[in-house]
Amino acid sequence: MSNIKSAILSIHDISEADQNNMYLLLQRYFDGITRENFIRDLREKSRVILLKDTGENAIVGFSNMMVMDFNWKGKIVKIVFSGDTIVDRAYWGSMELPKAWGKLVFSLRETDPGKKWFWFLISSGYKTYRFLPVFFKNFYPCFYKQTPPDIQGLMDDLAAYKYGRDYRKDRGVVRFSHSSERLKEGVAPVTADKLKDPHVQFFIDKNPRHDEGEELVCLCEIHPENLTKAGHRVIGSRVIT
C-alpha cells in the first residue's frame, strides 16, 4: 500500500477536477449514483476530508460533513453529520481517514465545548457501522444495551428533520424515495465469518435491507470520555491532552 495523506478543505475549495474524481470513486463502489445527487449532497456540506496517494497524487478516499445547531429539549446541541464517505479498497487498512476525522471533529468541538456534541450518521454497510464500537464506548443502536429514551428521541427527531418521510421510524432506517443508491454486490459481502462478530450480526438484524440501499440511523456523543483506547490512540491523541 502506498502512503496516503489527508487534507481538510472547505467545500468551496474543492476544484471541479477533484469533484469529478470524487464522484468517479464513489461510482466504482455504489450502484445508482448520479452526478446530480452527488453534487447536491456535496453542496450542503461545509468540509471535506480528502485522501490522496502521495505517489500518484490521486484521490483514494473522501468524507464530507456538516455541522448544525439542533434544538433539543429547549437547548441547542451541536450535530456533526457525515455524508458521502468512501475509501478505495486498496487503502482499507489505512487509519488516515479516522485520524483526520478525529482531528477535525474534536477541533470543532473545542470551539464550543460548553455544548453537547453528537455524531449523526446513516450506514448502509457494516464496515461503516463497525467504526462506532472501535472508537466509541457508547453509541446507538447497539447490541448489548438498550438505546436510552432521550437518545432515541434525538435520533428520531434528527432523522425526521433531515429525511422527512424517508425515515422509517418503526425500523430506525432511511429508505430514499428519490434514489436507488446501494453498495455494489461484492464490495463488502456479509460472510459467515463476518457474522461471528456480534456488531456485524446486530447491524444485519437491524438493517436487513442494507443491500437495497436502506441505511441505519446511528448516533454517538463526541466527547473525550466516550472514546475507547483505540479512539484515543487513533482519532483523539492529536487534540486531547
Amino acid code (one letter) for 120: F
Q: How many C-beta neighbours within 10 Å does residue 6 have?
A: 20
Is 4-236 a domain of CATH 3.40.630.30?
yes
Answer yes or no: are the C-beta atoms of 142 and 219 closer than 8 Å. no
What per-residue confidence (pLDDT) applies to 237? 47
Q: What is the pLDDT, as a whole number, of residue 37?
A: 87
Distance CA 126, CA 64 (A): 19
Q: Strand pairing partners for 219?
A: 120, 140
Q: What pLDDT score does 2 carry?
A: 57
Question: What kind and span of H or E run contains 78?
Answer: strand 75-87
pLDDT value at position 240?
A: 41
What is the Cα–Cα distance from 130 to 188, expressed in whole angstroms?
12
Low-confidence ranges of the chain (pLDDT < 50): 1, 237-241
pLDDT computed for residue 190 by the predictor:
81
Residue 241 has a pLDDT of 35
Model pLDDT, residue 239: 45
The pLDDT value recorded for residue 166 is 95
